[in-house]
Chain A
Amino acid sequence: MTRAAALGLCALVLLALPWIIGNEFYVNMASQVLIYALFALSINMMLGYGGMVSLGHAAYLGIAGYACILATLAGYNQLAAALFAIAVSTATAAFFGVLSLRAPGLGFVMITLALGQIVWGIAYRANDLTGGDNGIRHPARPLPFGIDIRDAPSFYYFTLAVFAGALFCIWRFARSPFGASVMGTRDQPRRMRMLGHHVWLVRWVTFVMAGFWASVASVLYVYYNLFLSPHAISLQQSAEILLMAILGGASTLTGPIVGAAIITLVKNVVSTYVERWNTLLGVIFVVVIVFMPYGLVPGCRQLWQRLATRVSGRGTKGAGATAPGRAQ
């Protein structure tokens, strides 16, 4: 099957999903998967392509989410509130980027963690603004172009449209000259400097772009839940988003989507049947990382190529090796 055919089939399945599933609960689940997949794709721009591990990604969910709700409650129309929320959150990402990129490696991780915790702390303590631990409600879903997206299938299509647009943009990013620069700075920052690339600026722009897409996902999250509380922007949320990207395969385009689907389904569906679903999630993660260190998508691709080589009987040494660091 060619790549285009596979893509077409995926698009068809996604478009027909509400009919295939039928059940409203699972249609909502599909919307949730798409929202988390967008979060995971955004963090993957930093992690997979840029080599920057962030533990504060949920901060954008807090900033964009609360900004969107507060602007809507203040009387602004839904579109203006959403744009305002994305702008504020992206601007915050720009500021966080300046702070975080002062330190490399572990220092970067710790600064992002601290910034995420600061946002969480503000959300938790600023009762008048955020409702504190009780959270805050969003009045209603918007009516994009007059279309009612209150029911599950309509909201799914709305989310799918935004997700498809974001996926296309991130796909272009990964294959663009700038994407090549980002991956170069991940692999050989010193060499990239000596080739004329501004490593710090490349990383910062990537950081801001990741913040932008996380902000878009955050607005979708608020529309989906119509509610936001500090629990949603905790360290656990940041870690889960990070795990989605790693589980599926960081530095691949499809990996974070697969990771988001698995984690969201285990959290929401498997947890109905398995009491210790957290343990199950941990086991899945450990097994995948042990047997497929670069994540599920690169691992399955490698396995598939090995099988194909074995079947065709003309194996060439290393043919199945998927370069972990390359954009897939």
Chain B
Amino acid sequence: MSTPALELAHLDKRFGGLPATRDVSLTVMPGERRLIIGPNGAGKTTLFNLITGDLSADGGSARLFGQELLRMATQDRVHLGLARTYQILTLFPRERLIHNVVLALLGLDRRRWNPWSILASSRDLYAAARAALDRVGLGESADRIVSETSYGERRRLELAMALAQKPRLLLLDEPLAGLSQGERQTVRSLLDGIPRDVTIVMIEHDMDTALAFAERITVLHYGEVIVEGTRAEVVADPRTREVYLGD
């Protein structure tokens, strides 16, 4: 049996007296498409923040391809192959789209410490950034300023930045949020096109897309895993209907 891409065990996080995640354990296998669902405040984004190191856990463990993450700084986790997109867009709005992707590429490149060379002359970085933008259909907009692009384009830019890093585990936090039907279709196709060597864990409220995309689903409620299983198992479970899907 291969090493899980992501293995969470008894992960706890409290904000003062309020538990955000309680004893969360889950295992995601390499290449898997995992969906995390739950009502607002269930602890989904907190869980992502614990995995990435944006928040520090109070207890438990998180392993990425067998390596313990919790005592590691965020940037070191990224160097192990972790990437994410944010629910609230976190981009460099005054910069060009291509510069955003170049920053993503630089994050894993030794040249990021070079204070002497001219960044604009790093043709390979810019070519790779253009390729990443082409992949999400933004090649033509590479030289536009982020703040002048549409919300949908920015969502795709977030995806381009994450994919440019060739991650092994990609965390997608509501990648379809705020998009029009047409844009949703575009992003759905992009997600479908991500190769299987990238394991994906996604939080999404658009159930049509999410259920079509995911192979296994984890339902969180008040920070606890209440249901986990295949699509059919989770949808059929009365607890899922009670806390999230409704009748």
Q: Which residues of A contact B (CB under 8 A)?
A: 172-173, 175-181, 184, 187-188, 190-199, 205, 209, 318, 323-326
Contact = CB atoms under 8 A, between A and B. Distances in A.
B84 to A, nearest CB: 6
Contacts of B94: 187, 323-326
A180 B91 contact: no
Interface string B98-114: 01001110111101111
B91 A178 contact: no
Interface in B38-79: 52-54, 73-75, 78-79
Interface in B74-90: 74-75, 78-79, 83-84, 86, 90
Contacts of B90: 188, 190-191, 194
Contacts of B119: 175-177, 179-180
Interface residues of B, number: 39
B181 interface: no
A301 to B, nearest CB: 15
B16 to A, nearest CB: 21
Contact of B120 (A175, A178, A187, A198): A175
Contacts of A323: 94-95, 145
Nearest to B110: A177
A190 B148 CA distance: 22
A172 B112 contact: no
A199 B92 CA distance: 15
Interface string B132-149: 000000000000010010
A325 to B, nearest CB: 5
B106 A326 contact: no
10 contacts: A172-B116, A172-B117, A177-B109, A177-B114, A191-B91, A192-B103, A193-B78, A196-B75, A196-B165, A209-B115
A195 B73 CA distance: 12
B1 interface: no
Contacts of B111: 177
B78 A187 contact: no
The majority secondary structure among interface residues of chain A is helix
Most chain A CB inside 10 Å of its own CB: which residue of B53, B74, B120: B74
Contact of A194 (B84, B113, B122, B145): B84
B161 interface: yes
A326 B99 CA distance: 12
Contact of B74 (A180, A188, A194): A194
Nearest to A182: B115
A188 B118 contact: no
Given A175-B120, A176-B114, A179-B119, A195 B52 contact: no
A236 B103 CA distance: 38
A181 B54 CA distance: 19
Interface in B171-187: none
Contacts, number: 101
B113 A180 contact: no
Given A188-B92, A196-B165, A197-B106, A172 B78 contact: no
Nearest to A178: B115
A193 B92 contact: no
Contacts of B52: 194
A195 B104 contact: yes
A176 B92 contact: no
A15 B112 CA distance: 36
A48 B86 CA distance: 27
A194 B73 CA distance: 10
A302 to B, nearest CB: 14
Contacts of B114: 176-178
A249 B95 CA distance: 18
B55 to A, nearest CB: 11
A192 B107 contact: yes
Contacts of A318: 148
Contacts of B165: 195-196
Nearest 3 CB-CB pairs, A to B? A196-B107, A195-B107, A196-B78
A57 to B, nearest CB: 20
A33 B9 CA distance: 62
A197 B109 CA distance: 9
A175 B119 CA distance: 6
Given A196-B165, A197-B107, A190 B54 contact: yes
A209 B148 CA distance: 34
B75 A197 contact: yes
Contact of A196 (B86, B108, B115, B117): B108
A291 B163 CA distance: 42
A195 B78 contact: yes
Nearest to B103: A184
Nearest to B79: A196
Contacts of A181: 103, 106, 112-113
A20 B102 CA distance: 46
A195 B115 contact: no
B88 to A, nearest CB: 11
Contact of A176 (B103, B108, B117, B145): B117
